[in-house]
Chain A
């Protein structure tokens, strides 16, 4: 029997490795249990989330044949530390995750220097291939699947391998019904991840029922980038979900305003939390970013309708677009007040290499650095804003975030409580 340890590295916050016995979410993580499900017979798997435990002391590296790390960019610093510590202890080291794709694959060279093998991008085919090659003594330094990710007959994730005590209850299990996104908003990292691939509705339905019955957890978070984006497919899926006694959360856009029957079906089939990518209350910004498939009045109507029906709503807004000036913060606040949203997730524009927006800002000579730093800092302004200063942008962002946190939340809707985010 071969043994593998799969690790999600921790994260440095304010110079310290962040640790918590229970993650501040109810939504169970998907990547490691899904990688475990992709493994062939003959492998024994342990999963470790370093944010919850002292991975290096709890698991004896020498006892494993392989150690795999899945890394997001904000975890890079710790991931490289772990790789340096684990190097030479015995097991071969494989690394993958979003960090291998973002920033135009910039980090692959560094990861490859520290690991025996790097899996670039989606791993449905390459992870089993790497395991097979390892068993044959032929582990390659790099794997990259040039085909779109497979979406048919995917195995259910192995949540049974997780320590669910590390996540707040009641638990919510993640399901992905499609990879990628059909929208092409010019600021979005979806430009890095290829075309939109949809799973068969029957497969998704079977997976949801499997999770409900196996784990006695009738709560799902659809992890798609835009779950309600295709009205025809959404109707087909939600009609199957409706009788199963599931409650669920998702992320989508306000185009659903133009399909009221889909919104009705969503609520009837168990939608309890929805996160919307609004991005800006100014139409000019959404024209600039080609996110023109809804209007602000439509967004307001949807939010108030969901409020009336007891659904928790989250609105995500980016500040720093070219048509933003210091007044944008007051306008956004007015929108939040009017629409009674439950949660507000603001951020400062982060031009992502590989996106049209990044290219546009660069061509105007407004990037402060050709490459953004690999370790994200939410308060870093990486470009010259057009109609306000960087200081005005940062202070406006901090003020409106703080104002929302301190506002009266008594009348807002929450599915599983205000304290813990689901989506």
Chain B
């Protein structure tokens, strides 16, 4: 039986790194693997400031530079939105 897409295990290193960093700044942690690509940032306790910390963390971890114009917390709702941003930045 196929699990819904939102809870598929994430094996890609970029996605794993982003998830690990999200877990660090989330107020709920991720010991039970509850945070997935489909998780809503507001529901896992990632406020706008934590999100900006996350961006800076990701820049260091993945050696990418996110344009300041993209660092607008209002533009991101889910963990997947962040993963897509990092893919875009890495591909440019």
Expressed in whole angstroms, the minimum distance between the Cβ of A121 and any Cβ of chain B is: 20
B53 at the interface (CB under 8 A from A): yes
* B16-49 at interface with A (beta carbon < 8 Å): 25, 27-28, 45, 47-49
Do B56 and A109 have beta carbons less than 8 Å apart? yes
Do B27 and A110 have beta carbons less than 8 Å apart? no
Do A106 and B27 have beta carbons less than 8 Å apart? no
Instruction: Please name the residue on chain A nearest to B73 by beta carbon.
Output: A77
CA distance A122 to B52 in the complex (A): 25
Instruction: Please name the residue on chain A nearest to B69 by beta carbon.
Output: A84
B83 at the interface (CB under 8 A from A): no
Given A110-B56, A374-B50: A369 in contact with B71 (beta carbons within 8 A): no
Expressed in whole angstroms, the minimum distance between the Cβ of B28 and any Cβ of chain A is: 8
A141 at the interface (CB under 8 A from B): no
Given A84-B69, A84-B71, A84-B72: A369 in contact with B52 (beta carbons within 8 A): no
How many contacts between A and B, using CB within 8 angstroms?
Answer: 47
Given A84-B68, A84-B72, A368-B27: A375 in contact with B56 (beta carbons within 8 A): no
Interface size class of B (residues with CB under 8 A): 10 to 19
Count, chain A residues at interface, CB 8 A: 17
Q: Which of B28, B50, B69, B72 is the one whose CB lies under 8 Å from A373?
A: B50
A76 at the interface (CB under 8 A from B): yes
* A367-385 at interface with B (beta carbon < 8 Å): 368-369, 371, 373-375
CA distance A87 to B68 in the complex (A): 8
List, in ascending order, chain A residues with CB within 8 A of B52's CB: 80, 110, 113
Do A110 and B45 have beta carbons less than 8 Å apart? no
List, in ascending order, chain B residues with CB within 8 A of A276's CB: none
Instruction: Please name the residue on chain A nearest to B25 by beta carbon.
Output: A371
Expressed in whole angstroms, the minimum distance between the Cβ of B14 and any Cβ of chain A is: 20
Given A109-B56, A113-B56, A368-B27: A373 in contact with B68 (beta carbons within 8 A): no
Do B49 and A110 have beta carbons less than 8 Å apart? yes
A114 at the interface (CB under 8 A from B): yes
CA distance A357 to B69 in the complex (A): 39
List, in ascending order, chain B residues with CB within 8 A of A114's CB: 68, 71
Do B68 and A110 have beta carbons less than 8 Å apart? no
Closest 5 CB pairs of A and B: A374-B49, A369-B27, A110-B52, A113-B56, A109-B56
Jot down 24 A-B pairs with beta carbons below 8 A, ordered by A.
Answer: A76-B49, A77-B48, A77-B73, A80-B52, A80-B71, A84-B68, A106-B53, A107-B49, A109-B56, A110-B52, A110-B53, A113-B52, A113-B56, A113-B59, A113-B68, A114-B68, A371-B25, A373-B27, A373-B45, A373-B47, A373-B49, A374-B47, A374-B53, A375-B49
